[in-house]
Amino acid sequence: MVGVHICICAPNSRFACLLREDEGDGDFDPSVEASGGQSYTSAGTARMFKLRRSMHQLASLRTQKEKEVLTAREELKLCHQKIQSVTEQRNDLEEEIERQKEAERSAVVFRLRAQHKHVCLMLHNEEELRSRIKAELKQHELELNKVELELGRLSLFQQEVREEEEAYKLHKAQKAVLRLQQQRKASQNMQLKRQHLINEQAAEKMKMEAEHQRKAEASRLSHMITDKYLKETIKRINQQKAEEEQQRMEMQKRRTQAAESLKSNIEANKTHITITSAAEAAAEKQSHCY
């Protein structure tokens, strides 16, 4: 957009320049960011608001100038009416003065001439006022024309202003959407982290419970194995003791049997010896008898 110069200045410097935009400020140009989103440059934002402010100021100034023109025209109309009324009053006085002159009424003529002088002074003042009002009206109309001219020039940029406003609104909406997406993403990340922490805690708890269960099972199996080994050991010891007792009893039985057999043999030997001795004695005795 070219630089727009908007200046409404009266010759008497009653109005200051509303806005001066240096040429070469550059057009509004929404640039595309690296991420693919549309960014609204600060220069474009400043130009948009500056142009809108200028149009609003000119519209307000046009309303003011229209009121001033309307007021000046009303004042000029009233002034014309007053001049017409005073002129008629002057003409009436002049006619009355002529009639009183013909009637030779000097005192009345003197009084009428004083009134005539006063009316002429009023007429002169009203004519001067009319001249000033005309000049002011001309100046107001000139200033109004300048304002309307500037508004006409700025109206050429209204579509661009609308487009810039739409781009600005779109940019704000995109920023709002992006901010909402970032907030949602941050919330999702927070929820994911929280869920991840919950999962880790649950997994750690399950791991601890599994480890505790494994240790309990291992302890139970160890106790079972120990009890089984102890029972088997006791069983082996008892069996060994029973076998030893059985062997001892068998040994004792064999010893008893051997002792009894030995005793029987001894008794038998004694009997045999006794019988043999008796037989030998009897035989010897018998032999002596022969």
Tell me the mean pLDDT in the region 57-66: 88
Q: For the chain, which domains are there?
A: 44-211 (1.10.287)
Helix axes 42-102, 106-155, angle to 10 degrees: 160
**Residue 68 and residue 140 in contact, taking contact as beta carbons nearer than 8 Å:** yes
Q: What is the mean pLDDT of the chain?
A: 78
What tens digit of pLDDT does each residue of 100-111 get? 888 888 888 899
Residue 139 has pLDDT above 90, yes or no: yes
**Residue 130 and residue 76 in contact, taking contact as beta carbons nearer than 8 Å:** yes
124 pLDDT band, cuts 50/70/90, is: very high
Structure tokens at 271: 């009997």
Q: Nearest to residue 1, comparing CAs of 146, 158, 148, 151?
A: 158
Q: So what's the pLDDT on residue 67?
A: 92
Q: Which of 11-25, 42-56, 102-116, 243-257 has the lowest mean pLDDT?
A: 11-25
Tell me the mean pLDDT in the region 271-282: 76
Tell me the mean pLDDT in the region 145-174: 80
What tens digit of pLDDT does each residue of 180-210 get? 999 988 888 998 888 888 988 888 888 888 8
